[in-house]
Every structure is written in structure tokens, then in C-alpha cells.
Chain A
Amino acid sequence: MAEKSERLTLWYEETDGSDFPIVGKKNANLGEMIKTGIRTSPGFSITIGANEKFIVETGIKEKISKYLEELGEVSYETTKKASAFAMSLIEAAVMPAEIEKDILVNYKKLCDLSSTDNIPVAVRSSGAISMPGQMETYLNIRGDKDLIEYVKKCWASAYNVEAIMYRANKGVGFLFNIGVGIPKMVNSRVSGIIFTLNTLNGDPSKISLDASYGLGEAVVSGLVTPDSFLVDKVTLDIAKTTLGSKETQCVYREGCSDIVQVEVPKEKQEKLCVSLDEVKELCRLGRVIEDYYGKHYDIEFGIDGDLPFPENVIILQVRPESIWNKKEVTARTEKKKDPMERILSQLLTGVKIK
């Protein structure tokens, strides 16, 4: 197999953080997370090299260079023209057979993994430098034809006016190849949030987990009362389970990428939405993330309805927990001279009944 830098596609697990010049930052970060043991949605990267090969073989690279020379001095007006020129060329070009084949072979693998034809994927831009929000990400893309179309659209999005100007400000040239990530769309049967502590009192020996049916929006925006668990972080035994009402769930509108609310059937409302094994696996991943970053974390997850356990337990997003990490910690016990004093004090206190 060719060197990584020569490849047109790389699966996430084949890469790590240091591969960002090959696949772009977002893709490389996903590879790094997987390497650490944090399971994300399965998928692959289309390398920056593939983008280069595309613009060379289609002659687009040459055409753009010529056009830029023709345009002369750079201004907002000329940038707009150059942007329209580049984007239309890229979107209209025929994908070179070698690149297309490579992408579609991997897409087929992703379909097989999920036991579903035309599995929906996301097409996500991933530049080698950070350009937050400058380029496009497309959700719910399915089928060979659309996938190839949207990969081109994604490449083209590197040439939208804002992106070109952002790069120009940073002294980066006009021609800019990007990586593209093709993760399976998480078909969230269940989603939710993990905090790697007890959110009520900051107790670091617990993991708090909220979960409800469908996409994460329902839990994140407080649309439903989720099932909620308090788990012993050390043994992963469940310390407390609270059944939530979970009347509604968010799903993608059929074939689209916008979200609609639908009602959860009564019998599903009355059951816990996650299995015990899924709870334990989620908490295990929560621990991995906390250990990796060295502080309490706030984690969004999805449980994919297309994949088998434990591959279905997928981390969507992680960020440091924002309240307890900053609080000063004070002792929870009273100071006592020796165990005898502690026992005495316990006996005198007793256990409250009412």
C-alpha cells in the first residue's frame, strides 16, 4: 500500500493528529480521538492530495492560474469573480475515474458496515489550517452519484468569497486544496449527554448520563425529560436510575437534513431508552475522554440504530465541563483527631429516618 501522503483516501483510524497536512485538521482530530479509544462515527477522509490530483487532472489548476493572471490586481470585485469562476469549474468537472473509484469503494465498505445500501453520510470540509465555519458541510448525502457531486461541492466551497478573503488575510495563496471527511451519518436511535461528574454536587466519583430517543437536540435543548443515570465512575455500576417521560423525539425529515419533532410511542416512553451495556460503554468512553484531557468533560453522544453494539455507541462532541472544573473544592467531611472520634460522632448523629 502506498505511503499515507500518496493515498487518495484514508480511513479515520489510519490517521492521527499529526496527519493534518494530509487529511486536514478536522479529519486528523477524529483519527486522534479514535486512537485514544474514543469511538466516533465510522468514516474516511478524502485526502488533500486527492483534491490536488483532481484540479490537476481536470485542468482546473491551470485554468484558474491563467484566469487570476487575467484578472490582475486583487480587489473585492476581482475576488468575487475568481470565486465564481473556480467554484463553477470544480462543480462542473467530471471526477477523474481513479479518485471516483477510490471514494466509492470506501463508501461501499461503509454501507456494508451498516448493512444498508446508500447509507447517509456527511460530507465535511477539513482544511489543513483552521478556518472555522468558512467552508461547507453537507448532511444526509446518500448514493454514489450524490456523494461524488457533494464532494466536488465541498472542494468548491474552499473558494467561496469569505474563505478566499480569510486565507488572503493570513497570507495564504488563492489555490487551496482541502481534505474532505465522509463519516456515516449517526442514525441516532438514542442520543444524550454525559458529564464526567455528578452535575448536582460536583462529586467526581460519578458520571451523570441523560439519554432520550432520537437526535440530541431533544436533550440538549431541554425539550424532553430524559432517562437519567448516575453511575459509579470506578466500578461502572449504576448508582441511580430515573425513568424520564420522553414524550417526543427529534428526527431528520425524511430524506432531508432539517429536523422535525415526532411523538414517541407510549410503550417506548415507559421503557429506559438505553440498555445497561450501552450505559456502561458510554461511561467507559466518558472515562477515557476525561483521562485523556485530564479534566471533567461534557460529552454529546449518539447510539446508532444501524450498527451493532458496541460500535453503535458513538461520541459526537466533547468540551470541558464549565461549572465544577472552575469551582474551588472544599472538604466534605469534618476534621476529626482519630477514627474513634469519627465513630463517636457517627453514633451521636445516627441516621435520620424522616
Chain B
Amino acid sequence: MAAKTFMDPHDVPMIPGTEGWEKLYPYQYQFSKDDPERAAFESSQIWYYDGLHYPEPHFPFDMIWDEAWSLALSQYNTRHVIIPPAMGIDHRIVNGYVYITPVGIADPEVIGKRIPLFMERAGYYYQNWDRLYENWKKKVTALIAELEAVNFTDLPEIEDISVITEGKGVGSGYLLLKKYDDVINMGLLNWQYHFEFLNLGYAAYVTFINTCNQIFPGVPIATLTKMVSGIDVVMYRPDAELIKLAKLALDTGIDELILKPLKSADMMAELAKIPAGQKWLAELEQSRYPWFHISTGTGWYHHHISWNDNLDIPFDAIKMHINSIKAGKEVGRPTEKLIEERDRIVEEYRKLIKTDDDREAFEQVLGVARTVFPYVEDHLFYIEHWFHSIFWGKIRQVGQILQNAGFIENADEDIWFMKRDEIKQALWDYSTAWATGVKARGPSYWPKIIASRKSIYEKFKEWSPPPALGVPPDTVTEPFTIVLWGVTTDVLSEWLKGDSAEGEQNILKGSPGSSGVVEGRARVLKNVEELADLQEGEILVATTTSPSWAPAFVKIAGAITDVGGPMCHAAIVCREYGLPTVVGTGKGTRLIKTGDLIRIDGDSGIVEILERVNK
């Protein structure tokens, strides 16, 4: 391929009407020509849009997770386990969308010096993986318990007498500020933990994939995932809980009651009136903590609420399961079949290896991939779902305080347009005004700013971020870039193509997610609340899916997502359900309309719009 490049990151035009957008985000996230050295670096790198995590533009508060992983991922590569040829991943933001770039090390001497450090440090982790991982779970669950214990309330008119009698000597204003800092710090710590194993997990996984590709050139990624995929995967537990509750409802004869079209609160009130219902509600409580902390999205955005945030969602899913069971369908993961299939695939592949050296290589990489895989799959539940869901709830409490104090108009919507440091400033304003007994400036300051940011945000939404900016490198050595974002020759050339072609587009190219070809009517879903609209046999088109959507998978004929690689959850889940799936099409939800007749080919990654529905 000729040395084709993408648009220079400094040349991306600003969207009219978004003047001053830079203030929504940290200053270091801007592409800037202030410093020639930094500008030259920016121009020489490949920057790709992180659509995997961010299908929508960024909210100023939600940037916390981007900054958190920018710090944590990079530091583990660069300073902790010392990945020899790779530094971290650098971040920028353009028109509300995050672009990232892997930073390599070119000097062989530097790489050479890093090797012994890597062997010692990474070696220690791989050798003590299970013990360290058990320890990790303890750390993370303790942190989550600490987070749960924090609650934000309005400052009191008068301090409680105990402040005096117990000689506490601190006031609620100070404690509010401190608690806010504490919660933010817990969030950052949570992300420190997140990457403790992940970099090494992906390194092992890349090695597994590439070694298998040497032995079996072109082996489908789906086959490799089946070889290592865990059976007792935490991410599937929430759905398993729903199935348990659906079966219990059927066994105790309260299924008809649960199928009534009531909101969850009314339904629970009805159930509480009868003994079987009370027993069922007790089981529900058991399942809710922690399993209903699963997010309805990826957990990355504040509006990805959890089942616990809106019980209507799991109730609808339980209804789907009850109906499926009644219709004699298999529900949930066919665990035994999966184990059988996994063992068969590995056994048959073993038999296909013809030399002892290759056999040894295969066993080495399979062993280490299987060691790391439970973490790679399960960490999502602990971090992005369980922790994040509770965290968003705590920030909503802060939003309520600010709404009550007149700083913002809507607790659910407005606080996310403030940066986390700005919230801290607002809390200072609120606390000092409370302490002094005067009117705070906040009510006259924030509403204007938030209104202007909302309008900028709406304009960001209309913009289509180009998939990449800058100059493609010869080689990528950064493990995340390869496994998670799947940045390869094919992907880059597809991106380069997409740069020029626009207009009526009936063919979309993504990555093969799950094998098979299927035709059907599309159902474009923006969020989990719309799952109820899904009709039998439709093809699900979504930005991304979450394991919390699992109950819908028995209904659909296939799935397409805008974001994600072969390792994303939509792909993994669909492979388990045997549904043809194409992931990472980039713009499926924009180009496809509900009702369009489409064909998806989960083997080639091609989606074709065969017939467009009339508007």
C-alpha cells in the first residue's frame, strides 16, 4: 500500500457554533501547535477514534474514566511491568470525541534494557496469577463496599449536637468536600486496579492468537476464543439470576402475575401481598446485590444505568424468560454444550498439529491464555459495571444537592456538563456560602455555562468523527491496540477507503463477530429500554450491546454493532448463542433504519441493506 495518510490532527475543522468547546475538557487533550515539538509528535502519530468505548461525544464529567485509564493503562505498560517496546497510549479530544495513539519505543538499546525488567515483573505476575487475582478481587470488593457507604446529603441548617458532645471538631461543609474527593479518588483507584492484570492479559492473548496463526494460518478468531473462553464467567451471572427468578416464578405459580403489564414498583407491591410472592421477592433481593449492578450499556457513560437503577428493565427481561420457557425454548447459556464444544475444538486442533515443537508452542500459549482469560472476561463486571453503577449513583446525589441549592436546573442531566474539578469548585461555593450564611454565586454562574455546553454537545452529536487521523505506523507493538481495537492492515485500509466514499451506502464493512449469514428486518435500538420493541427474528442493530441484553438474544436472528472488535461482548455472546454477528461497522445505527431488510455475513463482516423501508 502506498504511504497513504489520514488528515493531520491539527487540520480538523471546528464545528460552527461550538466556539470555546475546549473548556469542556482538560487542556492537555487538545491538539495544539503551541509547542513545535509536541505538534510534530502529534502529526507523526496514528490517532484513531476510540469508538469502542465512546460511541457518543464526551460529557465533561464522564471524562473521569478516560483520564483514569489514560493514567493507569499507560503507567502499567511504561513504569510497572515494563512492556519492552511499548510506552503508553496517548489521548486527545476533537469535537467531543476521544482519539488515542499507541506510543512505541524505537531505540533498540532502550528496548534491550527493558527486557530483563519485564521478564522479572511480568514473570512474577504470570507465575502467581491465581493468587494475585484472588487478592485483586478482595481489594476491589472492599473498595466497592467503601464507595457504597458514602452518601451525599444537603448541608444541615444546624450541625448535630454530636459534633459538640463528641468533640468531633469538623463540620458538614468540610466533610462534603472531603467525601467528594474521596469518591473521585476511589474512582481513580478503581481504575488503577483495573489495569493491574489487563495489559499482561492482553499480551498473553496476543501471543496465543499469533502463535496459533503460525501453526494454523488464518485460524478464525472465533475458534480461538472458543478454545479459551471461560465457562463460569461472571458477566453471564446477572442473566442466570433472571432465569433463576423466571423459573422460580413458574414453579411457584406466580408467573401469570409477573407477566401482568405493571411497573416494577406496583408489581412488587402486588407480590408482597401473597406468600409465594414474598418468597420470590426475597430471592430477588438476593440476586440484586451485586448482580443487578450490571449496566444496561458498557458502564462508560453516566446514562448507562444499571438494573438496580430501573427495576423495570430486569422485570421485562424476566417476563421474556418466562415466555421463552413457556414456549419450550432453551434459555441462558448452554453451559454443558459449551464445555463439550470447547474441549472438542481443542482436542481436534491438538490432533492436527504435526510436530513436537508446534505442539509444545500450542500448549504453552493455550495454558497461559487460559490462565489470563477469566480476568480478561470478568474484570468488566467488577469495574465497569458494579463499581461504575454505584459511582454514577453517588454523583447523582451530588447533582441533587446542587439542584436543591439552585446551581443547576436538573440533577439528572446537568451535572455531567461540569468537569469533576468544577463540581469541586461549586461545592466550595455552596459550602462557604452555607457556612457564611450568604447567597452563593453558583445559581447565577452555572446555568448559563451548562446551557451553552448543552448546545455545543448537541452539535458534537451531529458530527461523524473520522476513524483515524495522522500517519499509520509500520508496526504496532502495543497489546491493547492490537487485541481490543483490532488495529490491523485491513482495518486501516478500510478506514482510508471510508474517508473518500460518502453518500447512499448500502454495504457496510465491519469485523466478523460470529459466524453465519442471515437476512431479516432490522431493529435499531438506541438503548435497553427499547428492547421490549424487539420482534422475533429481527436483526438487532445497536451501537454496542451489553451482557444485560442477553434475554433478547433468544429472539433475534443476528446482530450488528457500531463499535467493538472480535473480543467485544456482543461478539462473544453472539458466538455463544450461534447468532451471525458483525461488529464494529462504525455507522450501522446511522445508516440502517428499523424495518430495513438487511443481510449480514458474520464470516466476512459484510452488512448489506437489501431494501429500505419507506419513511
Contacts and interface: CB of A to CB of B under 8 A. Distances in A.
A336 to B, nearest CB: 7
A333 B488 contact: no
Interface in A182-223: 198, 201, 203-206
Contacts of A347: 83-86, 118, 203, 206-207, 477, 479
Nearest to A333: B361
Interface in A324-351: 329-336, 338-340, 342-344, 346-351
Interface in B433-481: 472-477, 479
A186 B95 CA distance: 63
A239 B118 contact: no
Nearest to A237: B515
B475 A333 contact: no
B85 A339 contact: no
B156 to A, nearest CB: 56
A206 B489 contact: no
Interface string A261-283: 00000000000000010000000
Contacts of A241: 603-604
A66 interface: no
A56 B367 CA distance: 72
B157 interface: no
Contacts, number: 150
Contacts of A201: 217
Contact of B122 (A198, A335, A343): A343
B206 A235 contact: no
A8 to B, nearest CB: 45
A331 B223 CA distance: 21
Contact of B223 (A232, A338, A348): A232
A233 interface: yes
Interface residues of B, number: 62
Given A204-B352, A237-B222, A340-B123, A353 B475 contact: yes
A230 B218 contact: yes
A343 B604 CA distance: 29
A354 B479 CA distance: 17
A330 B355 CA distance: 7
A233 B222 contact: no
Given A340-B126, A348-B477, A354-B472, A205 B219 contact: yes
B1 interface: yes
A329 to B, nearest CB: 4
Contacts of B289: none
Contact of B365 (A239, A342, A352): A342
B211 interface: yes
Contacts of B355: 329-332
Given A206-B216, A235-B222, A333-B214, A354 B361 contact: no
Contacts of A330: 355
Most A C-beta atoms less than 10 A away, residue of B216, B349, B355, B488: B216
A276 B600 CA distance: 13
A350 B603 contact: no
B474 A239 contact: no
B206 A332 contact: no
Contact of A233 (B204, B214, B352, B475): B352
A74 interface: no
Given A276-B516, A342-B211, A348 B218 contact: no
Contacts of B604: 241
B435 to A, nearest CB: 55
B352 A239 contact: no
B475 A204 contact: no
A343 B203 contact: yes
Interface in B129-160: none
A231 to B, nearest CB: 9
Nearest to B516: A276
Interface in A1-42: none
Interface string B201-239: 001101100110011111110110010000000000000
A32 B210 CA distance: 42
A354 B474 contact: yes
Contacts of A331: 355-358, 361
A209 to B, nearest CB: 13
Contacts of A335: 357, 360-361
A342 B476 contact: no
Interface string A37-62: 00000000000000000000000000
B389 to A, nearest CB: 34
B115 interface: yes
B111 interface: yes
A232 B214 CA distance: 15
A332 B204 contact: no
A339 to B, nearest CB: 4
Interface in B322-363: 344-345, 348-349, 352, 354-358, 360-361
B98 interface: no
A234 interface: yes
A165 to B, nearest CB: 48
A232 B473 contact: no
B112 to A, nearest CB: 10
A325 B212 CA distance: 22
Interface in B475-531: 475-477, 479, 482, 487-489, 492, 515-517
B177 interface: no
Contacts of B252: none
A339 B477 contact: no
A332 B214 contact: yes
Interface string B1-35: 10000000000000000000000000000000000
Given A238-B603, A347-B479, 7 more contacts: A206-B216, A237-B222, A237-B515, A329-B354, A333-B215, A336-B361, A339-B367
What are the nearest 3 A-B pairs in CB distance? A350-B477, A331-B357, A333-B361
Interface of B: 1, 83-86, 104, 111, 115, 118-119, 122-123, 126, 203-204, 206-207, 210-211, 214-220, 222-223, 226, 344-345, 348-349, 352, 354-358, 360-361, 364-365, 367-368, 472-477, 479, 482, 487-489, 492, 515-517, 603-604
27 contacts: A201-B217, A204-B352, A205-B352, A232-B220, A234-B349, A235-B223, A235-B345, A329-B355, A333-B214, A334-B361, A338-B364, A339-B365, A340-B123, A340-B126, A346-B203, A347-B83, A347-B118, A347-B206, A348-B85, A349-B210, A350-B482, A351-B488, A352-B475, A352-B489, A353-B475, A353-B487, A354-B489
